[in-house]
Amino acid sequence: MTISPSIQYNFSLRHHNTFGVDAHAYAYAEVTSVEVLSRIRSDATLSVLPRLVLGGGSNIVLTQDFPGLVMHMGMKGIAIVAENDEFTFVRAAAGENWHAFVLWTLDHALGGLENLSLIPGSVGAAPIQNIGAYGVEAKDYIHALRAYDFDSGDIITLDSADCRFGYRDSIFKHDLQGRIIVLEVTFALPKKWQANVDYADVVRNLDECGVTAPSARDISEAVIAIRTAKLPDPCVIGNAGSFFKNPIVSAQQRNALRDSFPGLVSYLQSESEYKLAAGWLIDQCGWKGRTLGAAGVYEKQALVLVNLGAATGSDIVHLANAIQQDVRSRFGVQLEPEPVYI
């Protein structure tokens, strides 16, 4: 007889999503080992339920109660597992807090992830979203990962190429969506570290602090200061960080927009493409600091949508739709949300 994992029913997810939306899960399980996943898969009742995997809950908008099983990743552990002349390989379990993991690498004199400091969420979510900030993406340092395949019950290993990383994108949002659960991620951190200070905000903060030859720790502290000044603490004001992706447009479209809007903020991606600053587009449409019902746009950063206290997921989506419509009407650019609507 198969022993079922500990399941809680009609479970409130309010403290498991950074927007603080008070939706409920039909069933909830804390995943602390592969054995828990195997037991869920072999349970005749649990295995047929819709599944939602949660880490830090920083990349979702719960628009309704979830009618299936929510699996919260609680697997822990960080270790240096190998090294060669070029890299130190660090493995972190999916349930580890992302920012705490970044600080761990810095405490062990390992650079590379410092630009990704203070991003909310868990290690397991990092490859799925290919998180990024200040000129660095998770894919730049992910070496490989191990995952549980719900179709077969096997544990599979994928290297960086297998993950098909793109801008805030990966194979886990496409071919493997709903099929696999990330268990642990191995990062290759360079022994010959070089500072990445391509963003003006980072350079400005370092200059203000009198830092001329920044260490990885210096850059982390600069990023933390910038993010703290711009972004609200989810424990105080519900939010999911940057809500919209920075849109990628052709050079032709970017140049036409710049002719009409000389202040356009954009970043060269290739000879034929530019990335536009979504926050600037939203701000130009007058949304910064505005509210729509119980949801609003953060007064210090137009890219951040906030729960003013009693917003539902539908309230947040309604606000996002209104912003998308205004940006599309004025600039002819379609904004795409970063969080997943559930």
SS3 97: strand
Annotated active-site residue 168? The verdict is yes
SS3 54: strand
SS3 289: coil
Contact (Cβ atoms closer than 8 angstroms) between residue 254 and residue 282: no
Angle (CA) 327-328-333 rounded to 5° is 95
* Long-range own/partner contacts, residues 245-248 (CB < 8 A, 24 or more apart): 245/167, 245/168, 245/278, 245/335, 245/336, 245/337, 245/338, 246/275, 246/276, 246/277, 246/278, 247/275, 247/276, 247/278, 247/281, 247/333, 247/334, 247/335, 247/336, 248/167, 248/273, 248/274, 248/275, 248/276
Measuring CA to CA, which residue among 155, 222, 217, 224 is closest to residue 183? Answer: 155
Q: Which of 39, 168, 227, 254 is catalytic?
A: 168
Q: Which helix (H) or strand (E) holds 76?
A: none
Measuring CA to CA, which residue among 124, 117, 157, 112 is closest to residue 56? Answer: 124
Bridge partners for 61 per DSSP: 341
Contact (Cβ atoms closer than 8 angstroms) between residue 199 and residue 94: no
Q: How far apart are CA 76 and CA 128, in angstroms?
A: 18
Annotated active-site residue 242? The verdict is yes
Q: Which of 117, 220, 242, 266 is catalytic?
A: 242
Measuring CA to CA, which residue among 126, 139, 147, 140 is closest to residue 58? Answer: 126
3-state secondary structure 119-152: CCCECCHHHHHCCEECCEEHHHCEEEEEEEECCC
**Number of neighbours of residue 115 by Cβ within 10 angstroms:** 26
Q: Which of 96, 114, 184, 338 is catalytic?
A: 338
Q: How far apart are CA 286 and CA 326, in angstroms?
A: 9
Residues catalogued as catalytic: 168, 242, 338
